Amino acid sequence: MRQLHGLENLRQQYPGRLNAQALAGLLLTDLASCHCTIYGCIGDDNQVVLAELGLLTDSLAYEMFDQRIDFIVAGPIQRADCVPLTYCLQGQVFSITGRCSMIARVCGVDLYLQRSYTGVVGDIARQKFAIPISPLL
C-alpha cells in the first residue's frame, strides 16, 4: 500500500545522470521541513487527523554505507476517538503515503507506529523513518 509521490519531479531538479549520493542530497533538502500526518476514520469521513508529527531537525541524516536517509518526526497526539489507519509523510515535493497501525504484524500495513504512539491525547508520539535510496533510483 505504500506509495511514493513526487519522485519524478524531484529527479527533474538534477541535471544529468542521478546517482545515490545526488538523490540523497535532493531528498535531504526536500525533507528538511517534512511532517507526518496520521489519519483515522470515523463513518464516511476517512481523513480525521489524529496527529501531526514534525521533523526533529538534528535527526535527519544520510547513512552512506547503507545508502538510506534516517530521521525522526515527533508531535502531540491530537485526537483519540478512532484508531490510526493511514499516514502521509510530506516533504516539499516528495511524499510517502500508506497504511499504518499501532498493532504489530497487521496484514497490509507498511508503518508500525512506535510505542510512543499511545493513543492518549496530548502525549508526544515519535516515529522513526528510514528511506532506502537504491530502490528509488
**Residues 15-73: pLDDT tens digits?**
888 899 999 999 999 999 999 999 999 887 778 999 999 999 999 999 999 999 999 99
N-terminal to C-terminal alpha carbon distance within the chain = 20
Task: Quote the pLDDT of residue 121.
Answer: 97
Q: Tell me how many domains the chain contains.
A: 1
Residue 30, domain extent: 3-136
**106-109, long-range: CB within 8 Å, 24+ apart, which pairs?**
108/1, 109/1
* Cα-to-chain-centroid distance, residue 2: 10
- What predicted TM-score, i.e. pTM, was given to this entire model? 0.92
Amino acid at 119: G
Task: Give the per-residue pLDDT at 44.
Answer: 79
Cell numbers of 20, please? 545515490
Mean pLDDT of 91-106: 92
In this prediction, residue 46 carries a pLDDT of 72
Quote the mean pLDDT of the chain. Answer: 93
